[in-house]
Amino acid sequence: MAAPIRIGTCSWADESLTKYFYPREIKGAEERLRYYAERFDTVEANSTYYHLPERQMVQNWADRTPEGFVMHVKAFGVMTRHPVKVEQLPPDLRDEAPLDKRGRVERPSREFRAEIFSRFHDALEPLRETGKLGGILLQFPSYVVPKPASLDYLEWAVEQLGGDQPLVEFRHAAWLDDEHRDETLAFLERHGMTYVIVDAPRTEGRNVLPTVVATTSPTAYIRFHGRNAQTWNKRTGSAAERFDHLYSDDELREWVGPLGELAEKAEVVYAMFNNNGRSEVGGQTIAQAPVNAEELRALLQEAKLPVAVP
């Protein structure tokens, strides 16, 4: 039996969705999540990258989604060695945080990071106990490169997840170059980590991971970032600008075969759209991610693949 292919978006509350996906009568966080969950059976929570989640908020997510819904949660920036402003930390941790000249957390101790991991883990219990917690997205910045110290940190970080499924996304191309690809995938498989496949601009930049279709765990996970090479390296503007790309029918069809192959190898396949901009189509403004997600689902159904439908 081929694995189910579950399709969703990398947020249900991006500005493009709140303005152009939800009907005008759908207002507020509760109504939006319920509306989303009627149309897709999986999603990423990405607000947790910017601030540690609070348990009551996670309880609300669990309460507002149906049985069988799966929510993946993006790790807080400190957990994946991103620069985080001290204001993003819980108030009681700010005084002990080591800071750089710009007021960002700089090289915190393992003990400090362990406390962050612990609070993150505890807050997700409502999703965990209802069976709705998918994986924890560990998206590492492009300056985390393949070397022993990086592997050591990754192994330690996964231990801190307390048994939750790690979804590992790299942003430096060296992880998958000819020299490191086999070693990277073998390391992830050896430690029970899910390799995150990316669809991104087809350039040769070092901060663009090449698309390598492979699995390192029973879960196959693909993130569709769009293919806008012009905005990928932009230092200003919003994430919606960086990932501003509406996939064409041909670009989505490229994935029908690989997704079918992944469904034969894995126990579950997730296809998650992170192209969170907006486009004008036929005189109407649309949110790119949910439109492309629905289009991919239709293509997979046309190909008789086991795509999940809410």
The rounded mean pLDDT for the chain is 94
Confidence of residue 243 (pLDDT cuts 50, 70, 90): confident
Give the rounded percent of residues in the chain with a pLDDT score beyond 70: 97
The pLDDT of residue 271 is 98
The pLDDT of residue 242 is 73
Report yes or no on 140 lying in a domain.
Answer: yes
Report yes or no on 310 lying in a domain.
Answer: no
Counted domains in the chain: 1
The pLDDT of residue 202 is 82
- Which residues does residue 6 pair with via DSSP β-bridges, in sequence order? 270
pLDDT digits (tens, 9 = 90+) for 263-291: 999 999 999 999 988 999 999 999 999 99
CATH code at 296?
A: 3.20.20.410
Report yes or no on 297 lying in a domain.
Answer: yes
Report yes or no on 262 lying in a domain.
Answer: yes
Which residues are CB-contacts of 191 (< 8 A; sequence separation ≥ 6)? 154, 155, 158
Q: Which domain holds residue 222?
A: 5-302
Confidence of residue 160 (pLDDT cuts 50, 70, 90): very high
pTM of the complete model:
0.95
Report yes or no on 73 lying in a domain.
Answer: yes
Report yes or no on 208 lying in a domain.
Answer: yes
**pLDDT over threshold 80, residue 214:** yes
Report yes or no on 307 lying in a domain.
Answer: no
C-alpha span between 201 and 210 (Å, rounded) = 9
Q: Hunting for tokens 């809410």 — which residue is that?
A: 310
Average pLDDT over residues 135-145: 96
Average pLDDT over residues 125-146: 97
**pLDDT over threshold 80, residue 128:** yes
